[in-house]
Amino acid sequence: MDQKIKHHLSDEILMAYAAGTLPEAFNLMVAAHVSLCDTCRAQLETFEALGGAVLEDAPGNDMALSDSAFAATMALIAGGPVDTPKSPRVVSDDVLPSPLCEYVGGGLASVKWKSIGMGVKQAILPTSKSATARLLSIPAGAAMPDHGHHGTEMTMVLQGAFIDDDEYFARGDVEVADSDLHHTPVADIHEDCICLAVTDAPLQFEGLLPKIAQRFARI
Amino acid sequence: MDISLQPSDGVKTPVPNKGVQISDRDTRRAPMTDETGKRMQWVTHLQRIRDEQDQKAFAELFSHFAPRVKGFLIRSGADATLAEECAQEVMATCWHKAHLFDPARASVATWIFTIARNRKIDVLRRERRPEPEDLGWGPEEDPAQADVLALQQESELLGKAIADLPAAQRDLIQKAYFGDLTHSEIAAETGLPLGTIKSRIRLALDRLRHAMK
C-alpha cells in the first residue's frame, strides 16, 4: 500500500461513488485510486456509512411492498444467489490495480495500446459512453498530449510520475483538471509514465491526429 | 477485586457499564442505548441468518429494510414495479451474503445500502460497477464484540448528527444519496447556486465529522 500519495480524491467524488451516481469511467477512477490509497478508502467507507444512515433514518422514504413480497423473496432465496457469480478477480500487477485489470482483461502486458504519435500510446477502456476512461503511456521526459477537453478530467499516475506547474504527481496521485485549466504536464525523466485518465466530455483525440501532431511539433 | 459489578453506594438503577466487555453473543440483553441495541439486534439477526438460516430473523430484517430499499430505488428513478422487484433481490442478496457482512466495519443499514446501491447501478443503469481491490481479508469469523459495539455506536452517533442538521442541509444530503442528482442538478432543482450547494454539503459533512469525534 502506497502511503506517499499526496493528491487525493475529493469528498464530492467519493460521496458520489458511495451514492452510486457517478458515470462508470469515474467509478473506475475511484475504484483504482481507493485500491492504492487507504486514506480515501476510509473516507469512502465513511460516505457509505452516511448512505446507510440516510437509508435508515430518512423520513418518508420507505415504501410498502406488496403483500406477496416476502413470500416472493423467500422463493428467490430458494432459487439460489441472485447475481451471477463473478469470474475470479484478475490479480493486480505492479502497475494496474485489480479494477483496472478487470477492464483490461489482464495485467499491463495485456493492454492493447494504440500509438497516437510522438511515442505516446493510449488504450480506451470499455466503459459506458457517459464518460471515457483510458490508459495513457507517455515517454519519459515527454509532455502529455494536449487533447483539449471540455469537461472535468482526472488523471491518476500508475507508473512513473509527471510534473505539472511545479506539482509532482507520483503513483496513486490524482490531478483534476477543469475545462478552463490549461496545463502542460510533463512525464518525469526516469521512467515512462503510465496514467489512467477519465473525462466526462467526449474525447477530442480521435480523428484529430494531425492537429495533435502539430501541437507536439511545438513542444 | 471487582469494583464494576456491585456498587455499594446505594445506586438503585445500575448504570449500564458502557458495554465494551460483552462476552455474551446474545446482544439483546447488552447494556446500551435503545438505538445501539437496535443496531446490535440487526447484527445478531444477520448472524442468525448466516448460521441458522433463521427465517424469523429474516422476516424482521425484511419488514424493516425492504420498504426503505424500495423507497431508495424509487427516488433513484425506478418505477414502482421495478423497485419492488429489486428490493426483493436486494433482500435475497442479504440472505445469501450474510457471511460477508463485517459488523466491525459497517452497520447493517450501511451494508444493505451498499447492496441496494450496487443493484441500482446494475439494473437501473445497466453498467459494470468497478470495485476497489479487496483488502485481502474478509470479515473475521467472530469479530471482537467491543469492536462491533463501538462501530454500531458510532453509526448511531452519525444517525443522530444527521437528525440534528438544519432541514435544508439534511435535505441536500438525502438528495445526493437518494435522488441520483449531480450537485449541479441539485442546484437546478433548488434554484441555488452550485457553490452554495457545495459549501452546504461540505458544511454538513464537516459538522458530521465533528459530531463523530
For residues B150 and B186, membership in a common domain is answered with no
Contact B35, B18 (CB under 8 A): no
Chain A residue numbers with beta carbons less than 8 Å from the beta carbon of B139 are none
Residues 6+ apart with CB under 8 A from A155: A136, A169, A174, A175, A177, A185, A195, A196, A197
For the stretch B60-111, pLDDT in tens is 999 999 999 998 888 888 888 999 999 999 999 999 999 888 887 788 999 9
Q: Do A27 and B68 touch (CB under 8 A)?
A: no
Could you say which DSSP state residue B29 is in?
Answer: G
Query: A103 vs chain B: nearest CA distance in angstroms?
Result: 9
Burial of B82: CB neighbours in 10 Å, binned 0-12, 13-18, 19+: middle
pLDDT tens digits, residue range B190-203? 655 555 555 555 56
Inter-chain contact B93–A81, Cβ cutoff 8 Å?
A: yes
Residue B157 and residue B213 in one domain: no
pLDDT at position B86: 92
Q: How far is B205 from A11, CA to CA, in rounded Å?
A: 9
Question: Is the Cβ pair A12, B159 closer than 8 Å?
Answer: no
Domain that holds residue A139: 1-219
pLDDT digits (tens, 9 = 90+) for B28-38: 444 567 777 88
Shortest Cα–Cα distance, A32 to chain B (Å): 6
pLDDT digits (tens, 9 = 90+) for B154-207: 777 778 777 777 787 778 778 788 765 566 666 666 655 555 555 555 565 566
**Does B77 reside within a domain?**
yes
The mean of the pLDDT values for chain A is: 81
Which residues of chain A, if any, have pLDDT below 70?
1-3, 58-62, 82-90, 145-150, 179-182, 201-219
Report the candidate in A190, A62, A132 with the shortest Cα–Cα distance to residue B178.
Answer: A62
Sheet holding A120-125, edge to edge: A114-117, A120-125, A132-138, A193-199, A153-159, A174-177
Looking at the fold, whether B96 and B171 belong to one and the same domain comes out as no
Radius of gyration of chain B (CA): 20
Return the closest-CA partner of residue B45 out of B32, B25, B60.
Answer: B60
Point out the residue among B75, B114, B181 whose CB comes nearest to the CB of A61. B75
Q: What is the pLDDT of residue B191?
A: 58
Closest Cβ opposite residue B66 in set A69, A82, A97: A69
Phi/psi at B100 (nearest 5 deg)? -95, -10
Q: Is residue B183 part of a domain?
A: yes
| Res B163: pLDDT | 79
Q: Show the domain range for B58.
A: 30-128+146-164
Average pLDDT, chain B: 73
Does residue B210 sit in the same domain as residue B158?
no
Provide the 10 A C-beta neighbour count for residue B138.
Answer: 10
Same domain, B154 and B195: no
Q: How many domains does chain B have?
A: 2
- List of chain A residues whose C-beta atoms are within 8 Å of the C-beta of residue B63: 70
pLDDT at B155 (0 to 100): 78
pLDDT per position as a tens digit, B115-142:
999 998 888 878 888 888 876 555 556 6
- For the stretch A116-172, pLDDT in tens is 888 899 999 998 888 889 999 999 998 876 665 667 889 999 999 999 888 899 999
What angle separates helix B55-75 from helix A38-57, to the nearest 10 degrees?
100
